[in-house]
Amino acid sequence: MSAPKGLEGVVVNSTQISHVFGEEGRLVYRGYDIGQLAGKASYEEVCYLLWKGHLPTRSELDALNQAMRSQRTLPDEGATLRLLPKTVDPMDALRTGVSAVAAMLEISGTATYEQALAITARFPTIVAAFQRIRNGQEPIAPRSDLSHASNYLYMLTGDVPLENHVKSLDTYLVLLADHGMNASTFTARVIASTESDLGSCVVGAIGALKGPLHGGAPALVMNMLDEIGSAENIKPWVDNALDTHKKLMGFGHRVYKTTDPRAEILRDMARQSSTPEFFALANGTERYALDELHRRKPDQRLYTNVEFYSAAVLNSVGLPRDFYPPTFAISRVAGWTAHILEQMVGNRLIRPQSEYVGPQGLTFKPVDEREAVTA
């Protein structure tokens, strides 16, 4: 019996880390609904929760913060990133930087909590350093007195960021830290199941996240909103897009059959952090697009997903659009590494079967006897 295309609905593993309850519109981390954590727990607390299985006490959080802040510096001080073309995709720079860091830190053997922490702590440093280098600027050294989110924004500009920007980014990082058995997480677990090292698992996950069907949608949302341009143009633009079968970015999800709970939280954040004009454009687009999608495609159950208002929030804190995917990775590495650690407990090689649908019974002919195959 063959599996459905894309393994939709197929359970491939058991996990205690997170789960998407698609029919209910709920996301749970280690037993906590995402609304219990977003805007309340820091990203560092959520890292600890995903890695260790429970929220940290004050002393445990202090120890985690100290450890993560001491692990931010790149072992080659950004030398690897300086070798890359300045025009390279930031996700390629992150992938290359992580591979170099893992090699220089000699991360090998069975994945450990300490390795997960060391890699996670350095993600913002890699991304921020490349942004500076590609703009002809020197990377800014991390500060040990700033939080994970605050230090990332600081390393991009050299200025201590506004508190509302830090709060917005920190909440975004919490919301995107894990999301069930998504493509990049599954990739990380497949690699981990071969007993490869944690660095290789994370590099593979970055490759999966780079795909526009996974991590690139927020930038495409911003491009769409740019095309619409103004609140007055929402109706004609959306109507034309749907009439010509153009995809509306930021709507629909493989698992959620109602509104993504992260989108609800990000909408409120976008209302507070965006300019009134931009929020009117985004919110007006969302409302009209949903009305039309439900009217035209009532059987598809299309709702707002996390990418729609992620675009608004990341734009409000000043990130360039091609840095939305690596910022997503800065968040999701906590989930990747948690799943890698979990995979190693009672590990079994992930080796699914495939259904062969190709020809059989062909007879080999020497090269000079073969006829050209026409397409």
pLDDT at 217 over 80: no
User: Would you give the DSSP letter of residue 299?
Assistant: T
**Residue of 253, 286, 339, 342 marked active site:** 253
- Establish whether 307 is a catalytic residue: yes
The proportion of the chain whose per-residue pLDDT surpasses 70, expressed as a percent, equals 97
pTM of the model: 0.92
Instruction: Give all domains of the chain, ordered by start, each with its CATH number.
Output: 27-213+323-343 (1.10.580.10), 217-316 (1.10.230.10)
Residue 61's pLDDT is what?
98
Please, which pLDDT band fits residue 260 given cuts at 50, 70 and 90?
Answer: confident
Joined together, the tokens standing for residue 262 give 């992260």
Q: Is 253 a catalytic residue?
A: yes
Residue-wise DSSP of 345-358: TT-----------S
pLDDT of residue 6: 67
Residues 6+ apart with CB under 8 A from 289: 238, 248, 251
Give the Å distances, CA to CA, from 7 to 16, 122, 335.
Answer: 21, 33, 21
- Euclidean distance between CA atoms 120 and 329, whole angstroms: 10
Average the pLDDT over 172-187 and give the result: 96
One of 165, 307, 339, 342 is an active-site residue; which one? 307
Does residue 350 carry a pLDDT above 70? yes
Instruction: Average the pLDDT over 293-320 and give the result.
Output: 90
What's the length of the chain? 375
Token digits of residue 275: 């300019």
